[in-house]
Amino acid sequence: MPVSDSPDPAIQPDQPVYCIPHGVELAQAGRRVMLMTPQGGRVVLDRILLQIWGYSEGRTRPDILAYFQGKGFHPGDVSATLVCLASAGLLSYAETPLEDLHAHSPPKSDALVSAIIVVYNSLAWLPDCLASLGNQSHTSLEIIAVDNGSTDGSADWLAEHHPGLTLVRLNRAGSLAAAINRGLEASHGEFLLLLNPDVVLETQTVAHLVQAAQSNESIAAVAAKLRFMWAPAFLNGLGNLVGALSWGTDIALGHLDLGQCDLWTELPSACFAAALLPAKALEAIGPLDEGFPMYYEDSEWCYRARLSGFHVRPAPQALVYHAFSGRVPGGVDLSLAADKLERVISGRLRFITRLLGLGFLLRFLLGYLLEDFLSAMICLLRGRWRHLRAYWRAWSNYFGSLKDLRSERKTLQTRRTQTDRALFNLQRNAPVPLVWRGLPLLTWDIVRFEYKPWIESHQADRPKMTLLRAFSIWRIEGAAALVHRLGRGIQWKWMQP
């Protein structure tokens, strides 16, 4: 709870003070305490972060540091907490907490970029997305919208309000990969910008992507830095990866963006919610695999490209805000819907069968089989029949498609220039996601061990979990939070082949 002590009357008017921005409010889900962001999102805090946040209202940094030092807190830890709270938009301060690393202007280029947006009942998001494309500093841009069988009038709205774009109408909804491929076939650009409709780009995003793509001819894809639209200081991800357990995931999911990912030079894969592909690379690698019903089609294309000797690069200055179709996690159980579960299971099985050598294929397949068997048994015990059928259908369809997959696999393996070990070594140092039920985590432990080293000395080494650190998490956040953090860390370690 915010501390009720009144601000020190001795504060001089010209001293900058912290204040709580309009729209930042307390919220709660179960035992977890959260702060609402001005954009309607939520960030999970612990009691120490909440105490510092509440006490900071109307006070200067020296006053805050002195108060908490008197209570036994290290000033460096409190100072890092203030930087994080201000960077997260949960406190405001007269001075910028960190240097703005995204303000540098890229060189101008006249290369034609074809922006391809697959639309499916996306009318609510299209105005903002298209407006952000219209405001780009890179002006050599054509826009191609592929309507994938929408029923909300998206195609008619596009035709009426944006007659200058190319509209590809598909009579009925197909796979996302197929819709993207139809857009690629209609493009004329030297570079191909793949976008979700529920994104908004900053003004120089396309220019930064083009600059990165032009830096080396071996680049197959450039990934934009995705942030949550509803918590715009936190990362949706910079690239993504596929592991030997669990689902594919975005890299640095839930991390507060302090620039700690901006030194990365290569990624396992790019998320096609916002990614730039050179047309020459697409011609060499081939189109997206339309056999993916949805999910994993972007990862498969990128890992396939890397298998053939290409590279996937980040463009951390290329900022994109992702709305997830407006779904803001509320701190409740985020179990997949049955239809989505079936597509995810099918996608990861297709991914490994097409791309991996025999040794890695068997290892991944065994891990997925055991994981899905245990999950299916839990569904059986809980009477979740639709989810149980999703597991059955996904695996049945997989075995039914093995003949065709073996043929595709044989062709792809002849193009291999990388070993599976080299393919997956790149992701072993990826940071563990910092989310709780889809919401970003910002706790005393995370500030001290994840963010403080970067704030003080730009060190971004992965911190180890010690017994003393685990005890601190249990004491401050509770046993459930400790189990969650330990479980996520163990799962992340086992994911890496």
Q: What is the 3-state secondary structure (H, E, C) of the chain?
A: CCCCCCCCCCCCCCCCCCECCCCCEEEEECCEEEEECCCCCEEEECHHHHHHHHHHCCCCHHHHHHHHHCCCCCHHHHHHHHHHHHHCCCCECCCCCCCCCCCCCCCCCCCCEEEEEEECCCCCCHHHHHHHHHCCCCCCEEEEEEEECCCCCHHHHHHHHCCCCEEEEECCCCCHHHHHHHHHHCCCCCEEEEECCCEEECCCHHHHHHHHHCCCCCEEEEEEEEEECCCCCEEEECCEECCCCCCCEECCCCCECCCCCCCCCCCCECCCCEEEEEHHHHHHHCCCCCCCCCCCHHHHHHHHHHHCCCEEEEEEEEEEEECHHHCCCCCCCCCCCHHHHHHHHHHHHHHHHHHCCHHHHHHHHHHHHHHHHHHHHHHHHHCCHHHHHHHHHHHHHHHHCHHHHHHHHHHHHCCCCCCHHHHHHCCCCCCCCCEECCEEEECHHHHHHHHHHHHHHCCCCCCCCCHHHHHHHHHHHCHHHHHHHHHHHHHHHHHCC
pLDDT at 4 over 50: no
pLDDT at 9 over 90: no
Residue pair 403/434 in contact by the 8 Å Cβ criterion? no
User: pLDDT-derived band of residue 1, with 50, 70 and 90 as boundaries?
Assistant: very low
Structure tokens at 5: 């002590």
What pLDDT shows up at residue 331?
53
Q: What is the pLDDT of residues 11-36, one digit of tens each?
A: 444 578 999 999 999 998 778 899 99
Q: What is the pLDDT of residues 286-315, one digit of tens each?
A: 999 999 988 999 999 999 999 999 999 999
Structure tokens at 174: 């197909």
Q: Give CA–CA dist 17/73, Å, rounded.
A: 20
Residue pair 288/400 in contact by the 8 Å Cβ criterion? no
Q: What is the pLDDT of residues 364-409, one digit of tens each?
A: 999 999 999 999 999 999 999 999 999 999 999 999 999 999 999 9
User: pLDDT-derived band of residue 333, with 50, 70 and 90 as boundaries?
Assistant: low
pLDDT at 244 over 50: yes
Residue pair 111/190 in contact by the 8 Å Cβ criterion? yes
Average pLDDT of the residues in 258-275: 96
Within 8 A by CB and 6+ apart from 418, the residues are 306, 307, 308, 309
Name the packing angle between helices 385-400 and 338-355 (round to 10°): 30
User: pLDDT-derived band of residue 329, with 50, 70 and 90 as boundaries?
Assistant: low
CA-to-CA dists, residue 490 to 444, 454, 496, angstroms? 21, 24, 10
Q: Give CA–CA dist 371/374, Å, rounded.
A: 5
Closest CA to 316 of 130, 114, 103, 85: 103
Please state the φ and ψ torsions of residue 70, each to the nearest 5 degrees.
-65, -20
Average pLDDT of the residues in 181-203: 98
What pLDDT shows up at residue 173?
87
- CATH superfamily of domain region 113-326: Spore Coat Polysaccharide Biosynthesis Protein SpsA; Chain A (3.90.550.10)
Average pLDDT of the residues in 254-265: 96
What pLDDT shows up at residue 7?
47
Average pLDDT of the residues in 208-236: 97
What pLDDT shows up at residue 305?
98
What pLDDT shows up at residue 31?
80
What pLDDT shows up at residue 353?
97
Within 8 A by CB and 6+ apart from 438, the residues are 329, 331, 334
Question: Which sequence spans correspond to the domains of the chain?
Answer: 1-97+437-497, 113-326, 338-425
Average pLDDT of the residues in 418-441: 94
Closest CA to 88 of 465, 484, 455, 485: 455
pLDDT at 495 over 70: yes
pLDDT at 100 over 80: no
As a whole-number percent, the residues of the chain with pLDDT over 70 amount to 93
Average pLDDT of the residues in 442-470: 91
pLDDT at 166 over 60: yes
pLDDT at 335 over 80: no
Please state the φ and ψ torsions of residue 93, each to the nearest 5 degrees.
-145, 150
Please state the φ and ψ torsions of residue 346, each to the nearest 5 degrees.
-65, -40
> When comparing pLDDT for 72 and 171, which is higher?
72
Q: Give CA–CA dist 274/465, Å, rounded.
A: 34
Q: Give CA–CA dist 83/306, Å, rounded.
A: 38
Tell me what the pLDDT averaged over the chain comes to: 92
Q: Give CA–CA dist 181/175, Å, rounded.
A: 10
Residue pair 335/378 in contact by the 8 Å Cβ criterion? no
What pLDDT shows up at residue 21?
96
What pLDDT shows up at residue 334?
53
Structure tokens at 262: 């901006």
pLDDT at 216 over 70: yes
Q: What is the pLDDT of residues 461-480, one digit of tens each?
A: 777 889 999 999 999 999 99
